[in-house]
A = this chain, B = another copy of it.
Amino acid sequence: MNIVVQNIERAEAKVVEELGKCGVATVHEAQGRTGLLAANMRPIYSGARVGASAITISAPPCDNWMLHVAIEQLRDGDILVLAPTSPSNAGYFGDLLATSAQKHGGRGLIIDGGVRDIADLTKMKFPVWSSSIFAQGTVKETLGSVNVPIVCAGCAINPGDVIVADDDGVCVVKREEAEQVLEKARARMAMEEEKRQRFLKGELGLDMYEMRARLAQKGLKYV
């Protein structure tokens, strides 16, 4: 039952990168408000922003063996995404694994678990979004799988799906919808830029979105 899928499809590199630039909030909206990982998935340092293809890892609790297996599967532009099979906040990942992952093209790590060596990872500019920061060591005793469908932090992720992550958290885009989501995200960004200009001039959302009539009709009273 424990497998490593070696050849996975990825979205086009350019599309993946551009999705990363759009950011989590925009991409989440562009795909119909779906794809967010749970709010407790926080970056270990501020300012990182990434778009990358998911190498998924289903790992036993407190056992980081599969991370070594997964790193071999990395290609440039990929990101490791690990979901434990049972809740664990142990420190699956630190600066040595990051050195190896970075060398093999890894752009970061998404983990519903713990991470350690935060200071070093920050210096290395290797971003991690995790549910915990914890130095607890892990073992290498039990198998898991690499590049299988997982549920990470409440969200279903397939290998090759696009991960967008920034200071707002983490969002996943299905691989086969990446191009179309990018298009919508760009349209949204253009539209937002236009609104920003109007807001900067002092126009109110109440007028811009023509909300006054609907508010009145629903019964809002000004007193």
The answer on a CB contact under 8 Å between A87 and B88 is yes
The answer on a CB contact under 8 Å between B135 and A171 is yes
The answer on a CB contact under 8 Å between B132 and A39 is yes
Cα distance A142–B218 in the bound complex, in angstroms: 8
The answer on a CB contact under 8 Å between A135 and B192 is no
Cα distance A206–B70 in the bound complex, in angstroms: 10
How big is chain A's contact interface, by range? 35 or more
Q: Which residues does chain B contribute within 8 Å of A199, judged by CB atoms?
A: 96, 99-100, 103
Residue A76 at the chain B interface, CB threshold 8 Å: no
Q: Which residues does chain B contribute within 8 Å of A206, judged by CB atoms?
A: 68-69, 72
Cα distance A132–B87 in the bound complex, in angstroms: 12
Q: Which residues does chain B contribute within 8 Å of A122, judged by CB atoms?
A: 46, 167
The answer on a CB contact under 8 Å between A71 and B134 is no
Cα distance A205–B71 in the bound complex, in angstroms: 8
From residue A159, how far is it (CB to closest CB) to chain B in Å? 12
- How does the 8 Å CB contact mask read for A28-67 relative to B, with 1 for contact and 0 for none? 1100111010110010011101000000000011100101
From residue A125, how far is it (CB to closest CB) to chain B in Å? 15
Cα distance A219–B118 in the bound complex, in angstroms: 33
| Given A133-B42, A135-B169, A220-B69: A104 in contact with B25 (beta carbons within 8 A) | no
A5-B223, A23-B119, A33-B85 known; 8 other A-B pairs, CB under 8 Å?
Answer: A36-B136, A45-B46, A47-B119, A69-B211, A86-B90, A133-B167, A133-B168, A143-B215
**What 6 A-B pairs come out closest when comparing CB atoms?**
A68-B205, A39-B134, A141-B141, A118-B167, A100-B199, A33-B137
19 A-B residue pairs with CB within 8 Å: A2-B220, A3-B223, A4-B221, A4-B223, A6-B222, A6-B223, A23-B119, A25-B91, A36-B136, A39-B114, A45-B46, A62-B86, A67-B205, A86-B134, A87-B89, A100-B205, A119-B166, A119-B167, A140-B209
